[in-house]
Structure 1
Amino acid sequence: MFHEGERAVRRRAGLTVDGWGSAGVGNVIPPVAAEFLSRQPMMVIAAAGDSGAVWASVLTGPPGFITTPDDRTIIADGLPGDGDPLAGRFATERDIGMLAIEPASRRRMRVNGRARMDGDRLSVRTEQVYSNCPKYIQTRTVTEDAHPVNRTAHVTREPTPAQRRWITAADTFFIATQVAGLGADASHRGGNPGFVTLTGDRRLTWPDYTGNSMYMTLGNLDLDPRCGLLFLDWEAGHTMQLTGRARVDWDPDRAATVPGAHRLVDFDIEQVVQVTDALPQRWSFGKYSRFNPA
């Protein structure tokens, strides 16, 4: 589908390739992708709530909880849980972005489409299906996959001191974006601890490193700044979701102060939702990506 936001970002970045980004992505789930999905215990999702705020969330289950009954349909045997801003939102069909990521192998794939509840399951009709490169993914493996879940949600307007430490120590987060008429998207961002910084009480900044030049995330932000971030506490099973608005700063002098950055993204926080004991999996850290700038 034609996406003026992606084209505008590519022009500003000095790229003139046509047919890239959303325009070059198909809607069919290849057999290798279906097999990959069937092995995953986690799926990151992106969608907007009824107010228009955009959120990133995560669905989890034992391997096999994601199935593909045909080459345009994905079924997830689960829905956003209690306290999650997207809980109950799929009673009516809406745009969804999905990211399946396998940290142990550094493989990932993205799916964008339309989703609705089907009983206790989520049914997705695919519109875009594609894989991504392994850059900036830190390796992790599941050490426990059936930990009891006892969800408790805490909502604030800005991060607490403990949450600020969580953010600035993170090596990974996920970002959700959406543009009306063009769909939702879920993506991954990674780097060494400290690659995400906080300024003041409610502004968060991260560098935009060399990627695959599709600019799906930045293209969406060019048209609609509303977005959501998801941080995982991999060892304890907690989640932290932030919603707000992001702006890409194209100032080369500012980017030059951050190793590896082509540009910086500033995110102004509007709400924080932390769900303690949200995930049944526990993950152990392996090693950092060799692509992470120092």
Structure 2
Amino acid sequence: MTGSVFHAGERAVQDRAGVPAGWRQRAARAIRPEIPLLLQPFFESLPVLFVGLQDMRGRPWATVCPLPAGAQVTRDRLTARGLPVLAGLLGLDLRPGSKAAVLGLDFATRRRNRVNGTVVSAAEDILSIAVEQCYGNCPQYIRTRDIRPPAAPVPLAEGKPVAIGDARVQRIISQADTFFIATHATDGADVSHRGGAPGVLRQNVDGSLSFPDYAGNRYYNTLGNIEVSGRAGLLIPDFASGEAIFLTGRASVDWSPARAFAFAGAERVVDVQPEEVWYAQHGVPRGAFRLHTG
């Protein structure tokens, strides 16, 4: 990390956003090089993990890793007893040493924590990641849901490439209130949650997608990675049906106040131009997600 937990792209975005001098040193104390003991049961309790990986061409993808047998977590290792959905079809790089990012999210409590690191091994439905960074995020914009293990085994996800104009893609995007974004830079991978009311992810006439960037923890992991690589991958799930859209493409950040004004409360707008899009009927475990009504 060249003397800082924040790489050059993150620092550039922090500077442009007006983050106060001296803030980085204070913020760095919240980013741990291991998973604290009190946090390990949180990851072990989750039925799924959201994962960010690159493919063999260096493009980022966001996907989901179901955990039918749970996860095993230690101070310096997170081992998921399951492999990411569509890992083979998307050509994800699961070789030892490749960068990986994990988001643990409990929709019922709106608690989320991140782990970034490197792949140790990925074989026989086991994905093991060596921990380099661990930190929490605030619960803003998380749509409350109860996540329960499905009553029956989830069918194996079978995806196929589709056009961004495919009717299923259009429907899922237009109804989405939650999605996940994977990005990368030289120093590592990242995966993050984005959410809001349905329509938070907008479709443009040129086939690109846009979404607001709201005030947050000011780490700017996602925007900093886009600053460096100009790329992003999105996982857009339909929690009711289990369908999901996976896409990767070019990404940029628009700092224009006029663009941000179109989204209430936004500070910036992120644009993604899809280059490859996949649809999976069973992209997320069907029946694992239910709206919380209590």
**TM-score, normalization: structure 1?**
0.90
Q: 1-side partners of 2:51 and 2:165: how far apart? A: 22
2:43 and 2:71 in contact (8 A); partners too? yes
Pairing partner for 1:250 from 234, 255, 271? 255
Q: 2-side partners of 1:255 and 1:195: how far apart? A: 12
Cα distance change, pair 111–225 in 1 and its aligned pair in 2 (3 A) = same
* Residue 59 in structure 1 maps to residue 59 in structure 2: no
* Residue 77 in structure 1 maps to residue 47 in structure 2: no
Moved more, 273-282 or 187-196: 273-282
Q: What does residue 264 of structure 1 align with?
A: 269
| Alpha-carbon offset, residue 231 of structure 1 | 1.0
Q: 1-side partners of 2:117 and 2:36: how far apart? A: 16
Residues 144-197 of structure 1: CA distance to partner in whole angstroms, max 9, x if unpaired?
Answer: 5234314221202424122112112110000000012x1000100010011111
1:73 and 1:126 in contact (8 A); partners too? yes
Taking the TM superposition and a 5 Å limit, the aligned residue runs for 1:35-50 are 35-50=41-56
SS class of match (1:5): helix
Q: 1-side partners of 2:40 and 2:149: how far apart? A: 24
1:149 and 1:278 in contact (8 A); partners too? no
SS class of match (2:94): helix
Q: 1-side partners of 2:88 and 2:26: how far apart? A: 34
Q: What does residue 292 of structure 1 align with?
A: none
Q: What does residue 100 of structure 2 align with?
A: 96
| Alpha-carbon offset, residue 139 of structure 1 | 0.9
1:238 and 1:278 in contact (8 A); partners too? yes
Q: What does residue 280 of structure 1 align with?
A: 285
Q: 2-side partners of 1:115 and 1:179: how far apart? A: 16
1:81 and 1:87 in contact (8 A); partners too? no
* Residue 115 in structure 1 maps to residue 123 in structure 2: no
Q: What does residue 19 of structure 1 align with?
A: 25
| Alpha-carbon offset, residue 240 of structure 1 | 1.1
1:45 and 1:186 in contact (8 A); partners too? yes
Pairing partner for 2:157 from 151, 161, 173? 151
Aligned length, in residue pairs: 284
Pairing partner for 2:167 from 145, 157, 161? 161
Q: 2-side partners of 1:82 and 1:217: how far apart? A: 23
Pairing partner for 2:135 from 130, 139, 142? 130
| Alpha-carbon offset, residue 141 of structure 1 | 1.2
Moved more, 187-196 or 234-243: 234-243
Q: 2-side partners of 1:37 and 1:74: how far apart? A: 9
Cα distance change, pair 23–264 in 1 and its aligned pair in 2 (3 A) = farther
**TM-score, normalization: structure 2?**
0.90
| Alpha-carbon offset, residue 276 of structure 1 | 1.2
- For 2:157, the aligned partner's letter is R
Cα distance change, pair 268–21 in 1 and its aligned pair in 2 (3 A) = farther
SS class of match (2:63): strand
* Residue 142 in structure 1 maps to residue 138 in structure 2: no
Q: 2-side partners of 1:226 and 1:88: how far apart? A: 15
- For 1:53, the aligned partner's letter is R
| Alpha-carbon offset, residue 66 of structure 1 | 1.1
SS class of match (2:131): strand
* Residue 178 in structure 1 maps to residue 184 in structure 2: yes
| Alpha-carbon offset, residue 286 of structure 1 | 2.5
Gaps of 5+ in 1: 288-294
Q: 2-side partners of 1:18 and 1:76: how far apart? A: 32
1:80 and 1:87 in contact (8 A); partners too? no
Give RMSD over aligned pairs. Answer: 2.0
- For 1:217, the aligned partner's letter is T
1:157 and 1:270 in contact (8 A); partners too? no
Q: What does residue 291 of structure 1 align with?
A: none
Q: 2-side partners of 1:147 and 1:275: how far apart? A: 17
